[in-house]
Amino acid sequence: MVSYRDLDVAFQAIVNIHSGQCFGHEVLVRGWETVGAESAEALFAAAAADGSLIDLEVAIRHRVVARAPDSPVLTGGALFVNLDPRAAEALDTVMAATRGLLQVGFAHIVTEIVGLDGTAGPALYPPATMRRQGGMVAVDRFGASADSFNLLIGCDPDFIKIDRAFIRGIDADARKRVVLAQLVGMARTLGIEVIAVGVETGRELTVCRELGLDLVQGFHIAPPTGDLAALAPVYARIDALAQHERRRRQIDQRWVSQQMNPVPAIMVDAPVRDMFDRFARDRNTTHVPVVDRSGRPLGIIRESDLKNYAYSAFGKDLIANKALGRKLQDFLVRCPIADIATPLDQMLAIYAAVEDAEGILITEHMIYHGFLTARSLIRAMHEKTLARARDENPLTKLPGNVLIEEYVADCVASGEGAVLAYIDFDNFKPFNDTYGFRQGDRAILLFAELCRKSAVPGRWFVGHIGGDDFFIAIKGGDAETAVAAIGGLIGRFASDAESFYDHEARARRCIVAQDRDGNTKRFPLLSASAVLAVLAPGSDGVSTDEISAAIARYKKPAKLSPDKMVVVPLAAPSAPATLEPA
């Protein structure tokens, strides 16, 4: 019989993508060579073949029990332990050893499961056995095996761990991003947290953040280590990135904060009587959010589910009777969860996807923050729509100054880099005076329409400052492409606007009208000129005032330049822009 006494364990951090705080660690087996195996896979395969797999699973757990007390960072978080599916036939024995880990003081024990040759779901992992004494479940290698969805549906997991093959190179693969975005949305709807595994580069990490993942694991954050002193409570690299993010929080957050109800949550291990007291104290409360020891939301308890007990003669006393062993956990129902920075329409989609949902549990950095009922969600949407409508330009229906200013501030704070174009018509006054205000409106509408046609969804923002002044921001891609796109747009406008003139004006390429001082003059045909402020990636030290000053300064040179454009590179104060007005 093989002895697993000399096996060791390493730990890899699973980190909160918003705060850099360590959420927990995955246990990884080490020292397989001591039993003659060539890899961890080979170790498990050999153990399955010689009938010692259960011993191996138990030995790994015992090794953790022996080592963990030396590290408060380790025991202060969750512990993720893999379960080989071939060991599922002796689930009771393995889970008993797993629960032994709770005595060490871990915040949670999460068992990572995968399917076995097409057999998955509750038959392999009966939920009652998995969850006894508050154990949690993660579907591991999600997306890599055909069983992923069976496990998701049948085993009611708390987490799904997206397989590393999915995360690898996700920054350069639009298809992967679309699929992951949908997976995250789906998991959110079910109240499940998504962990990205195998994050190896900063770009992969950024995509994970953009797609709304909460937890990440991988070499870019921390490699597995057996050195307990190397485990950190906070991973500074992630925190620094998150600082950026915090500053550019979704604009929608304001509406959510205004409408959200900070209903106090109840701890999952509180006595059952506390739950009745809460409902009795506040007659308007129909549900109570439930959190774990670290403040993470687990779901809600609905008053309606307690009615049968509350109205029967001894129902309430029966439930509250400790001897009967009823816990708050038994009344818990899942509820959609969303981070406070989630855009409102995404929240609405999350809410709409769950039948009978009472609302959405709002988190900030994964910690319960408040509850958004269906009614308050609709109110937030309505308030936002009204504010948008007030800001919108009545003629072109494009966003106005409030949204433009917010957008510019967001571009600056993100440090992502963008081209900000301020566009103004040339010789609009004489055109208006000669052909009338209605025709002037048509020219404005023409430009707005050309902008809409040129705009690349998700990358362009088009705003209407007022009158004949427009604003366009282009994010992503290189600045040269963006500059060429704006050049194309103003060229197209000048060409299309010729159709507004009579034959004679077109032939002469000018009209005769009066200037602001009443002098009769020739004015060229209508065109547009642009000042393009180029915010290089990382130039987040630039203030919006500096941008406005640069625009004002280069407006005239743009009108005089042959291609009707001036490109102004903006840089953080340490590296001043070099371009001087023409």
Ligand X SMILES: Nc1nc2c(ncn2[C@@H]2O[C@H](COP(=O)(O)OP(=O)(O)OP(=O)(O)O)[C@@H](O)[C@H]2O)c(=O)[nH]1
Site residues (vs ligand X, CB under 6 A): 395, 424-429, 432, 437, 440-441, 444, 467-468
Shortest CA distance to 103 belongs to which of 64, 150, 151?
Answer: 64
DSSP string, 305-370: HHHHHHTSTTHHHHHH-GGGT--GGGG-B---EEETTS-HHHHHHHHHHSTT--EEEEEETTEEEE
CB of 436 to ligand X, least distance (A): 8
CB of 519 to ligand X, least distance (A): 14
Query: Considering beta carbons, is residue 342 or 432 the nearer one to ligand X?
Result: 432
Query: Considering beta carbons, is residue 297 or 440 the nearer one to ligand X?
Result: 440
CB of 202 to ligand X, least distance (A): 44
C-alpha span between 535 and 538 (Å, rounded)? 8
CB of 582 to ligand X, least distance (A): 16
CB of 163 to ligand X, least distance (A): 55
CB of 514 to ligand X, least distance (A): 11
Query: Considering beta carbons, is residue 230 or 560 the nearer one to ligand X?
Result: 560
C-alpha span between 225 and 342 (Å, rounded)? 34
**Residue 577 CB neighbour total at 10 angstroms:** 15
Query: Considering beta carbons, is residue 158 or 468 the nearer one to ligand X?
Result: 468
Residue 75, CB half-sphere, CA atoms under 13 Å: how many?
14
Query: Considering beta carbons, is residue 249 or 442 the nearer one to ligand X?
Result: 442
DSSP 145: S
C-alpha span between 166 and 352 (Å, rounded)? 28
CB of 498 to ligand X, least distance (A): 16
338 strand-pairing partners? 362
Query: Considering beta carbons, is residue 305 or 441 the nearer one to ligand X?
Result: 441
> Which residues have C-beta within 8 Å of that of residue 393, sequence separation ≥ 6?
399, 400, 464, 466
**429 Rama sector, left if φ>0, alpha if ψ -120 to 50, beta otherwise:** alpha
C-alpha span between 437 and 530 (Å, rounded)? 23
CB of 449 to ligand X, least distance (A): 15
The residue written with tokens 């009707």 in the block is 564
CB of 281 to ligand X, least distance (A): 58
CB of 484 to ligand X, least distance (A): 23
**Residue 428 CB neighbour total at 10 angstroms:** 19
Query: Considering beta carbons, is residue 466 or 538 the nearer one to ligand X?
Result: 466
The residue written with tokens 């988190």 in the block is 363
CB of 403 to ligand X, least distance (A): 18
C-alpha span between 87 and 105 (Å, rounded)? 25
Query: Considering beta carbons, is residue 126 or 491 the nearer one to ligand X?
Result: 491
Query: Considering beta carbons, is residue 80 or 428 the nearer one to ligand X?
Result: 428
Query: Considering beta carbons, is residue 252 or 426 the nearer one to ligand X?
Result: 426
Q: Say if residues 191 and 336 touch (Cβ distance below 8 Å).
A: yes
C-alpha span between 106 and 64 (Å, rounded)? 11
C-alpha span between 159 and 192 (Å, rounded)? 5
3-state secondary structure 247-312: HCCCCCHHHHHHHCECCCCEECCCCHHHHHHHHHHCCCCCEEEEECCCCCEEEEEEHHHHHHHHCC
CB of 392 to ligand X, least distance (A): 14
C-alpha span between 373 and 355 (Å, rounded)? 14
426 strand-pairing partners? 527
∠ CA 261-211-254, nearest 5°, is: 30
Which residue in the shown chain puts its C-beta closest to ligand X?
440
Query: Considering beta carbons, is residue 311 or 437 the nearer one to ligand X?
Result: 437
C-alpha span between 145 and 112 (Å, rounded)? 14
Helix (H) or strand (E) holding 488: helix 479-497
Query: Considering beta carbons, is residue 204 or 424 the nearer one to ligand X?
Result: 424
CB of 176 to ligand X, least distance (A): 45
Query: Considering beta carbons, is residue 286 or 434 the nearer one to ligand X?
Result: 434
φ/ψ of residue 117, rounded to 5? 45, 50
